[in-house]
Each structure stands twice: as C-alpha cells, then as structure tokens.
C-alpha cells in the first residue's frame, strides 16, 4: 500500500470554468458558503463535526448540497485573533446559483 499525502486546500480549489448549457455560457467557481469557529482544544475536527452536520441539514445546507456541481468540501485555518480554528465550507456553484445563494442565505 502506498502512502500518499492528504490533499491540501490549494489542490482542492479550482479555477473558474465555463460550460455551455442551453447554448449559453455559464461560469462555475468555488464559493465559501459557510464558516464557523471551533475552540482550540483537543481535536478540532471532532468538535467541528456537529456544526458541519447541523449546517448540512439546514435549509441553506440542503440547497447547496442539491445545487453544487461537486460535493462541497471544508478547510481549516488557525484564527489567531480568537485563538480558535476557523472552518469554511466551500462549494462549486454556477454563477446564477451563487447569486441566488447570496441573496437568500447571506
């Protein structure tokens, strides 16, 4: 069995792309759809599981899961201003879907 490194956040972000849908070009790009902080103790990924699941079952989360081109993914960063970890959920959506999401859920 080969040992491989986990994908880094940089490798998961993709550049903006265009696809032809109904003879019209539609742009697709990544968007941070939700973020939250977890206190810096123990294993932050375990403590983030609850908020991640709560968001996925919320109205906004269900809408993103239904309209995302690919499965949304999350990233973790150290938030030095609050001594915690900031988790961000990123989804790849079309620009019309991004506009709808921003107007309705943010």
pLDDT in tens, 60-93: 999 999 999 999 999 998 888 888 999 999 999 9
More confident residue, 12 or 19: 19
Structural tokens at position 64: 């993103």
pLDDT digits (tens, 9 = 90+) for 21-50: 888 899 999 999 999 999 877 888 899 999
Structure tokens at 96: 């019309």
Q: What pTM was estimated for this model as a whole?
A: 0.83
Q: How far apart are CA 100 and CA 52, in angstroms?
A: 22
Residue 64's H or E segment, with its range, is: helix 59-67
The answer, yes or no, to whether residue 14 has pLDDT greater than 50, is yes
């Amino acid at each position: 069995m080969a040992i491989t490194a986990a994908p880094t956040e940089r490798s998961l972000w993709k550049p903006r792309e265009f696809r032809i849908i109904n003879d019209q070009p539609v742009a697709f790009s990544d968007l941070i759809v939700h973020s939250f902080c977890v206190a810096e103790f123990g294993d932050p990924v375990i403590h983030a599981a609850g908020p991640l699941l709560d968001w996925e079952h919320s109205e906004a989360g269900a809408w993103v899961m239904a309209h995302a081109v690919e499965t949304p993914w999350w990233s973790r960063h150290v938030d030095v201003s609050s001594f915690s970890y900031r988790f961000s959920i990123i989804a790849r959506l079309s620009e019309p879907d991004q506009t709808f999401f921003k107007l309705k859920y943010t």
